[in-house]
Amino acid sequence: MKKIIISGILILFSINFIFAQKAKRDIVLEDIWKYNTFRASTVSEIRSMKDGLHYTALEAGRTGQLIVRYEYATGKPVDTLVNSSSLIPKIDIGDYEFSDDESEVLMSTDEEQIYRRSSKANYYILNRKSISVNEVIPVSKNGKQQYATFSPDGKSVCFMRENNLFVKNISDGSEKAITTDGKWNFVINGACDWVYEEEFEFARAFYWNKDGSKIAFYRFDESKVKEYSFVEYDSLYPTNYTYKYPKAGEANSKVEIYIYDLKTEKTKKVDTGTAEDQYIPRIKWTQDPSTLCVFRMNRHQNELELLLANAETGGTTLMMKETDKCFIDIGDDLTFLEDKTHFIWSSDSDGYRHLYLYNMNGKLENQITKGKWDISAFYGVDEKNHTLYYQSAEVSPMERHVYSIGLDGKSKKCLTNKKGQDHAQFSGNYKYFINFHSDANTPDFITLNTSTGEQVRVLEDNASLKGILEGINLSPKEFFSFKTDDGVTLNGWMIKPPDFKSDKKYPVFMTVYGGPGANTVNDSWGGRDYFWHQMLAEKGYIVVSVDNRGTGYRGAEFRKCTYKELGKLETIDQIATAMYLKRQKYIDGERIGIEGWSYGGYMTALCMTKGADYFKAGISVAPVTNWRFYDSIYTERYLITPQENSSGYDDNSPINFADKLKGKYLLVHGMADDNVHFQNSVEFVTALVKANKQFDSFFYPGKNHGIYGGNTRLHLYNLMTDFILKNL
């Protein structure tokens, strides 16, 4: 009798175990793109206050938006600084910034996006010490403004409108035009042209000096830049949107730097030399309010000079020069120290990106960080304690960790110790940092830490999402590496089906980006595409991604080896990946597919043509198909001009290899893509038709490079999933 009972219990346990296993459900696309089932919680829009002990956050209240002040140490709210419902007039706050002394708040509302980093809005000023504390003052009543910014003394606001620069005197309410020659598609004052915004990654192009007495600004003369148009299907008769877009080898804007003096109301031009065909990728005021630093770079982007400009005369002197046999990447690490005699600089001149200490004469005093690994972010310097904070890939190209180090290059300390990736956000005085940690299979775990790395408290553990994931059929993302026939070691990740069996053969779906300096093989949380890849694994596919040569965080030689031949080595490496996978006993080598977006779409098109013997199916989303169609700054950085390097452009253009297509191919593009123009797909379609090659295509009217909005992403991923299931 006892044996029967025990057997019954065992049978019941087995049934329950099987039921529990089966209870785990599969992912559907609506989870990802409609219901946001797997959206991770985060900590965002936190602004450190000057004391470094408090921060503010913009939150939704019952009747409007609130700007709430919190205490770092406890996370408790201290007070509400602004309640939009009590403002006169009432506005919906989209964004905000404080004046340097934090007595005034500049708030934006009714924001309109322009390009990736640019927008315009109505701005209002709130004086927190005013008798009428709820009354807000419009920055201007003459139309929406761009990039409104307080002067350091809080007495003025500078902004750009309709390609001209203005300054508002807060005390008397007057508005003065600094420039008057701005005109759409001709001259821009105080904001970037399209290609600077996209490739040098900034949009506001004016800067206050330290005491608020002067404004340095860019002037772009676009008159010789050719125009690009795309159709907007927004009325009975469609209209054209036309803007200036310099393609590779074509004329760029003429860029000049000016300095406006608020006291004399006079503008002085900065001497940046006689060459017109050059770049000025950054300007930055030094600690001396009368000295501006100007970055001057040649068109090939392999020579960079730091010029010191006298704000009174506009005259310049050379402070430092850096050259490279390939190209120099521009970033925002330049930091002038308060001692007025030194600055921090980052460079990969020794083969890896590191931090350096220079004096103001341009003499190197100390290489602060050293080693065969790359700095991936510079967070800043605590001058009081002579300590720098940075992020690096020292442990692995797949990992990121946060470090501190002395200005003398000593006392280096790793402040984060979990496997995966860490990203830090420091408080104003570097007393605290918020750490965002994740790994390939775990969403963000967000903590508040002291500057020495000790955890103070947990801000977000994503326990709710983790609970949801326990009920989903997920497989771990696994990392691997292999050596190609060229002797190059490549890193990759793989997601296998949940019921994977080593004696069974599976089709492979490869996903690729592959562009210069950009990695897809990261030990960090992958967001929505992670779940799409998991969904494909549930349907029986092994999903793989590999970082080819030219990607980042393995030193300058690995990253720059594709110079003048974009696409060549990258395609060889992706083909080598397919060959490696084909040799694995659990892979069906006749069923390998590949997909990518933007540069990844370009890589996919090359793999489906030059690598046609290795891939059964491919999907290109918004691909470059000929680098002659892409913008000057990005393309020439890696290929120089087509006039000088025609083979570098033509030998790796999918258009020139359309006749080699064998497998099933899907081409997708947004018809209002201002970045990678729809022209790329049109020309590839023309070449495929000429070669009598059959393919599938889908084009999204009114959608830009991101192809999103409403049901668009859900539709796109349904389209791609159906294509994979049918053809792979």
Distance CA 603, CA 555 (A): 22
Evaluate whether 597 touches 622 at the Cβ level (below 8 Å).
yes
DSSP helix/strand/coil, 157? strand
pLDDT of residue 16: 43
Evaluate whether 480 touches 494 at the Cβ level (below 8 Å).
yes
Within 10 angstroms of residue 4's Cβ, the number of other Cβ atoms is 8
Work out the mean pLDDT of the chain and round it to a whole number.
95
Distance CA 635, CA 568 (A): 15
How many alpha carbons lie under 13 Å from residue 545 in its C-beta half-sphere? 24
**Catalytic residue, candidates 475, 598, 632, 681:** 598
pLDDT at 113 over 70: yes
DSSP helix/strand/coil, 491? strand
Distance CA 121, CA 124 (A): 10
pLDDT at 26 over 70: yes
Distance CA 470, CA 24 (A): 8
Question: Which tokens go with 651?
Answer: 């030998």
Exposed/middle/buried for residue 129 (C-beta within 10 Å: 0-12, 13-18, 19+): exposed
Quick check: is 386 catalytic?
no
Q: For residue 472, which phi and psi values (nearest 5 degrees)?
A: -115, 145
pLDDT of residue 61: 87
531, containing H or E segment: helix 528-538
Count the helices and strands in the chain (H runs, E runs). Answer: 12, 44
pLDDT at 598 over 60: yes
Among 40-54, 509-523, 608-622, the minimum mean pLDDT is found in 40-54
Within 10 angstroms of residue 290's Cβ, the number of other Cβ atoms is 17
Distance CA 28, CA 26 (A): 7
Rounding to the nearest 10 degrees, give the CA dihedral for residues 622, 623, 625, 626: 90
pLDDT at 338 over 70: yes
**Single-letter residue type at 314:** G
Band of the pLDDT at 19, cuts 50, 70, 90? very low
Exposed/middle/buried for residue 46 (C-beta within 10 Å: 0-12, 13-18, 19+): middle
Q: For residue 192, which phi and psi values (nearest 5 degrees)?
A: -85, 155
pLDDT of residue 304: 98
DSSP helix/strand/coil, 648? helix
Evaluate whether 409 touches 385 at the Cβ level (below 8 Å).
no
Quick check: is 213 catalytic?
no
Band of the pLDDT at 45, cuts 50, 70, 90? confident
pLDDT of residue 63: 87
Distance CA 666, CA 464 (A): 37
pLDDT at 9 over 70: no
Question: Which tokens go with 451?
Answer: 């500057």
Q: Which residue has the tokens 């599976």?
A: 506
pLDDT at 8 over 70: no
Distance CA 57, CA 43 (A): 10
Widest CA span of the chain, in angstroms?
A: 104
Average pLDDT over residues 379-396: 97
Collect all residues with Cβ–Cβ distance below 8 Å to 457 and sequence separation of at least 6: 74, 75, 447, 448
Distance CA 563, CA 558 (A): 10
**Percent over 90 (pLDDT), the chain:** 94
CA angle, corner 369, sides to 302 and 408, nearest 5? 120
Within 10 angstroms of residue 618's Cβ, the number of other Cβ atoms is 32
Quick check: is 673 catalytic?
yes
567 sits in the region (left: phi over 0; alpha: psi -120 to 50; else beta) called left
Question: Which tokens go with 618?
Answer: 């491919």
Band of the pLDDT at 17, cuts 50, 70, 90? very low
Collect all residues with Cβ–Cβ distance below 8 Å to 120 and sequence separation of at least 6: 111, 112, 114, 144, 145, 146, 161
pLDDT at 11 over 60: no
Average pLDDT over residues 406-413: 98
Distances (CA, A) of 210 to 256, 265, 318: 21, 18, 21
**Catalytic residue, candidates 673, 674, 677, 681:** 673
**What size, in residues, is the chain?**
728
pLDDT of residue 390: 98
Distance CA 272, CA 291 (A): 14
CA angle, corner 302, sides to 246 and 218, nearest 5? 50
Distance CA 330, CA 198 (A): 13
pLDDT at 210 over 50: yes
pLDDT tens string 182-196:
999 999 999 999 999
Distances (CA, A) of 10 to 14, 16, 21: 6, 10, 16
pLDDT at 21 over 60: no
pLDDT of residue 131: 60
Question: Which tokens go with 480?
Answer: 């691997």
Q: Which residue has the tokens 């709430």?
A: 68
Walk me through the domains of the chain, giving residue ranges and CATH numbers: 476-727 (3.40.50.1820)
pLDDT of residue 196: 98
Evaluate whether 259 touches 246 at the Cβ level (below 8 Å).
no
3-state helix, strand and coil shares in percent for the chain, rounded to the nearest 5:
20, 35, 45
Collect all residues with Cβ–Cβ distance below 8 Å to 580 and sequence separation of at least 6: 482, 484
Three-state SS for 465-505 is: HHHHHCCECCCCEEEEEEECCCCCEEEEEEECCCCCCCCCC
Collect all residues with Cβ–Cβ distance below 8 Å to 725 and sequence separation of at least 6: 539
Give the long-range contacts of residues 363-367, CB within 8 A, separation 24 or more.
366/407, 366/408, 366/409, 367/409
Distances (CA, A) of 143 to 90, 101, 217: 18, 28, 21
pLDDT at 572 over 70: yes
First-last CA distance in the chain: 55
Q: For residue 319, which phi and psi values (nearest 5 degrees)?
A: -95, -45
pLDDT tens string 460-472:
999 999 999 999 9
How many alpha carbons lie under 13 Å from residue 539 in its C-beta half-sphere? 18
Average pLDDT over residues 376-397: 98
More confident position, 337 or 1 = 337
**DSSP 8-state class, residue 541:** P
Within 10 angstroms of residue 553's Cβ, the number of other Cβ atoms is 26
Exposed/middle/buried for residue 268 (C-beta within 10 Å: 0-12, 13-18, 19+): buried
Question: Which tokens go with 678?
Answer: 């729809």
Q: For residue 658, which phi and psi values (nearest 5 degrees)?
A: -60, -30
**DSSP 8-state class, residue 110:** E
Distance CA 53, CA 196 (A): 36
pLDDT of residue 14: 43
Average pLDDT over residues 174-203: 98
